[in-house]
Chain A
Amino acid sequence: ETGVTQTPRHLVMGMTNKKSLKCEQHLGHNAMYWYKQSAKKPLELMFVYSLEERVENNSVPSRFSPECPNSSHLFLHLHTLQPEDSALYLCASSQNPGLAGRTDTQYFGPGTRLTVL
């Protein structure tokens, strides 16, 4: 499945570094999502963008900063992370029918495995 791509696939960074994760969807969708998957914890929704507008911020620390320049691209900017931020970061996209509409099927990218030293 190449509908949603993520780069890099693996990233190791120090706590003082600044890095960015990139997600690109080729499905013509209008909504994009960031999830965090930590060991032994359920998937945690971080951010939701619909029509390039952030519509959900699920109490995520400010050291994570999302950016959605257009409906096909989503970034997650990282700075001064902590070791507990080490996780698999998953991007997803869907065709959202509207503010009060049913959320449609989400398609996921392969994820970026982040390790914070």
Chain B
Amino acid sequence: GNSVTQMEGPVTLSEEAFLTINCTYTATGYPSLFWYVQYPGEGLQLLLKATKADDKGSNKGFEATYRKETTSFHLEKGSVQVSDSAVYFCALSPSKEYTGRRALTFGSGTRLQVQP
């Protein structure tokens, strides 16, 4: 079946540091890949997505590239801010050829703490 593995947190960085949160997946075919962010006390917000191999999703300075050869979708940001402190979830949705479970499969989440 489908699965998503994220690096365990918390990840603690100083402001303006470089961020990488690793995400790898197991899936049949060519899934779509997502990063969601959850700020304290709120629901999940879509951060970025990529729907095919070598696509790069980007938003608010965050980027992630869909790497089919390594089955990865690592999240990166060049310079983090205190306001980026949140929990980040990697997720996938099955490819259109897959007629089984169609809902998103989430990773366990990675908490990011950015210190001033």
Interface residues of A (CB under 8 A from B): 1, 4, 6, 33, 41-43, 45, 48, 55-56, 90, 92, 96-97, 99-111
In the complex, are the beta carbons of A106 and B102 less than 8 A apart? Answer: no
Contacts of A43 in B (CB 8 A): 89, 106, 109
- A105 near B46 with CB under 8 A, answer yes
Total residue contacts A-B, CB cutoff 8 A? 59
Are B96's CB and A101's CB within 8 A?
yes
Looking at the assembled complex, report how far the CB atom of A29 sits from the nearest CB atom of chain B, in whole angstroms: 13
B43 pairs with A108, CB closer than 8 A? yes
Chain A residue nearest to B87 (CB atoms) is A37
Is B42 within 8 A of A111, CB to CB?
Answer: yes
B103-A56 in contact (CB<8A): yes
Main secondary structure of the interface of A (DSSP, over half): loop
Interface size (B, Cβ < 8 Å)? 24
Q: Which of B44, B45, B102, B106 contacts A96 (CB 8 A)?
A: B102
B44 CB contacts on chain A under 8 angstroms: 90, 92, 108
Q: Which residues does chain B contribute within 8 Å of A56, judged by CB atoms?
A: 101-103
| Contact residues in A for B89 (Cβ distance below 8 Å) | 43
Neighbouring B residues of A92 by C-beta, 8 Å: 44
Q: Across the A-B interface, give the 9 residue pairs with the lowest CB-CB distance, nearest first.
A: A103-B93, A108-B44, A108-B43, A102-B96, A110-B43, A43-B106, A103-B102, A42-B108, A111-B43
Cβ contacts B60-101/A at 8 Å (1 or 0 each): 000000000000000000000000000001000111110101
Docked pose: A3 CA to B22 CA in angstroms = 29
Specify which chain A residues have a CB less than 8 angstroms from the CB of B34 in the assembled complex.
105
